[in-house]
Structure 1
Amino acid sequence: MDRLVPPAHAVTPVEMAAVLLSGVVGGALNTVVGSGTLVTFPVLLAVGLPPVTATVSNALGLVPGSVGGAIGYRRELRGQRRRVLRLGAWVLPGGLVGAGLLLALPTSAFDTIVPVLVGLALVLVALQPLINERVRRRRGRTGRAAPRDGGPALRAGLALASVYGGYFSASQGTVYLSLLGAFLDEPLQRLNAVKTLLVGGVNTVAAGFFLFAAEFDWTAVLLVAAGSAVGGRTGAGLGRRLSPAVLRGVVLGWGTVALVLLLAR
């Protein structure tokens, strides 16, 4: 079967420009917040791609954005190699499972759970300072040190979130950031850097699977890829300049928009 699928009509220069721009914005948002798919996916649908083809093309196209974001956050990633590798061992298989589910299951199952998952993630992000403070006090009373990699609960949560990320990826980064913030006592910028790298890993695994098993449109992939590469690097520079409070506010603000869009689908 030919896996290269043309759009329903010839893509005009204006539509190509829209897809490219959506890649720039989506790549930047993925790095800063983690919901770039909610920008790129609707544009791909608008130019005539079927939903599954648009999802696959989007996953392939956003990989360079994650790479650019990780490069931009390389300073915050210093000293976290072991953590990234250990957590990556849990998220990558989840991404592969999610990619397989995209081709095997109807969308109705995930359409129900996705808004709930994103809503819970926003609550965790909002409560992160309070959760961290209470956890810190409890550890002070018991004398227990914080697990360097967050412990089994974090690994299990990231693995489950990665199944969803491999399936659709909208707000995947928001869910990751909420989990990392709840279980790791680290500055938000360092957590955002880890989130960016983990999301990139899941997207890469899913994209590799899609290359051999799913239908996609090369024009859309290349346009989103070119835009996201620029946006990812730009997003890292922007995110680094934001204070933790402002960054959390951006995550909550865009996450709320993402939740509304998901509920309206």
Structure 2
Amino acid sequence: MALYSEEKICSLGLVKEALPKHVAIIMDGNGRWATAKNLPRSAGHRAGTDRLRGIIRLTSDLGIDSLTLYAFSTENKKRPADEVATLMSLLIEYFTKEIDELNENRVRIRIIGAYDEFSAPVRAAIENAMKRTETNTGLNLNIALNYGSRAEIVRAANLAMQQALRDGKNEITAEMLEQNLYTYGRPEVDLLIRTSGEQRLSNFLLYQVSYSEFLFPEEFWPDFSDEAYLASLRAYQNRSRRFGGVEENA
């Protein structure tokens, strides 16, 4: 699918040059969506997985560089075994069924988190998806699986310290730490969205969102439509990002 033209982006109420380069989304509310409809939680997770297709396609069409999705946290492993099994099954299904369209749209998949702790079938599906898309040059899609930001920072610090010791140094720099984060090589996160109205980070990209804009739309993730996403992008473009400084006319 071709990128939207500047005219098309303008017709959506957006300015191409002011779009975020990196959007991160905490996809929250699948279970509550299902409960509100008297459906099992598994139905909510399936509906949430279905919603991925539209959001990824729209992000790609807009020409945004990177999209990072919080799909499964280290804390999610504490959920009931049948719910975790459903989530793992949906992961395999997603990577199997969606890989052709992702490839057609030149999406490159990177998994962030300790996915090596998953079962062999899940790992195989993940690794196949990454391998098949590794040379794509479109949207960089980072999917956080078995991810926790505190663990990521500790891991990065340990790797940076090992590097420092090899170089005969006894301290690390911010640059060395950042080089060992899962998201290294991607733009800084400009916009973090958490659906369902909850206003917390839940151990997601704590280092990377230091200067991000936060938005907390009320929709549960399965109801987070393309228009709701566009509304969030418009709201982002109306923000004044000062990065600790002051506005020139202030």
In the superposition, the TM-score normalised over structure 2's length comes to: 0.30
Greater per-residue helix proportion: 1
In the superposition, the TM-score normalised over structure 1's length comes to: 0.29
* Greater gyration radius: 2
Greater per-residue strand proportion: 2
